[in-house]
Amino acid sequence: MDLYTKNALQCSKKTTRNYSTSFSLGIKLLKKQFRYPIHGIYGFVRFADEIVDTFHDHDKAALLSHFREETYKAIEDKISTNPILHSFQYVVNKYNIEKEIIDAFLDSMEMDLSYENYNNEMFQKYIYGSAEVVGLMCLRVFTEGDNKTYEMLKSPARKLGEAFQKINFLRDIKSDYIERQRSYFPHIDPATFSDAEKVKIEEDIEKDFDEAYIGIKKLSKDSRLGVYLAYTYYRKLFTKIKNTGAKNIMEQRYRISNTKKLMLLFSGYMKHKVNWI
């Protein structure tokens, strides 16, 4: 790896650490060869998400369009002066990540600029593009060109991303509604969000988690613990959300403390050592 690429990947690593302690800890538990590539993926999706969610004083559509153009140019040229995009193109080209799933991700980011209320079709399209394909990008890295294993684990990887995203929607339902005027769950008005509606969403998430866990157990030991840790973090957050009412979800944002994260890390590590995952 040349110095410029290594430096670019370190920028992506710094981005991951600044934005997500949970994913940073999970990545540390991956085999060393996987860490930089997953940082490269995270940095890319994080920057795209920032464009649509936080750059309120700028032309988001123009910025996202430019970001898309520069992404494809970086992949084609195999270089970019933007270290985040250089990191991402390195991962895309090394692990043969398909253009179709990159398209789907950027399309979902674009949807955030124009859609405020999602119907069933748009909800599924958004979930696929914003979360499921990120799981598929990571799976391309973990399977290292083994297409048979990739195809076998595609569905569980998608379900894990879907579960994570639905939990994010539940956790952020207040801020999405009040700050961004968005409502992701079809046919649900956050202003009148009920316990019955919340339970129905949670039942779907449980099914996603069940299928995802089957896939996690089939990952190699080189990647299993890191993915399992992210899974346990979200399961713990999901438990907190399940144990409260819909009204409370609209009043506060739930999270997992750093102390609890470290406890989950230790527990997951011990299960991994004795092959209980």
In tens digits, the chain (277 residues) has pLDDT values of 799 999 999 999 999 999 988 888 889 999 999 999 999 999 999 999 999 999 999 999 999 999 999 999 999 999 999 999 999 999 999 999 999 999 999 999 999 998 778 899 999 999 999 999 999 999 999 999 999 999 999 999 999 999 999 999 999 998 888 877 788 999 888 889 999 999 999 999 999 999 999 999 999 999 999 999 999 999 999 999 999 999 998 888 888 887 888 888 778 878 877 677 7
Question: Is 15 within 8 Å of 42 (Cβ atoms)?
Answer: yes
Q: Determine which helix (DSSP H) or strand (DSSP E) holds 29, and give its type and residue range.
A: none
| Distance from chain centroid for Cα 118 | 20
| C-alpha separations of 71 from 44, 78, 96, 226 in Å | 9, 10, 15, 27
H runs (alpha helix) in the chain: 3-19, 21-28, 32-54, 60-77, 83-95, 99-111, 120-127, 133-143, 147-171, 173-179, 195-218, 221-242, 246-249, 258-273
Domain boundaries, the chain: 3-273
Give the total residue count for the chain.
277
pLDDT of residue 274: 67
Exposure string of 106-142, with b = 16+ CB inside 10 Å and e = fewer, is bbbbbbbeebeebeeeebebbbbbbbbbbbbbbbbbb
**Topology adopted by domain 3-273:** Farnesyl Diphosphate Synthase (1.10.600)
Nearest CA to 228 out of 88, 236, 101, 12 is that of 236
Q: What is the pLDDT of residue 116?
A: 77
Question: Across-strand partners of 117?
Answer: 183
**What is the spatial distance between Cα 26 and Cα 9, in angstroms, rounded to a whole number?**
17
| Total Cβ atoms within 10 A of residue 79 | 15
* Tokens linked to 90: 């390195």
Q: What is the pLDDT of residue 260?
A: 85
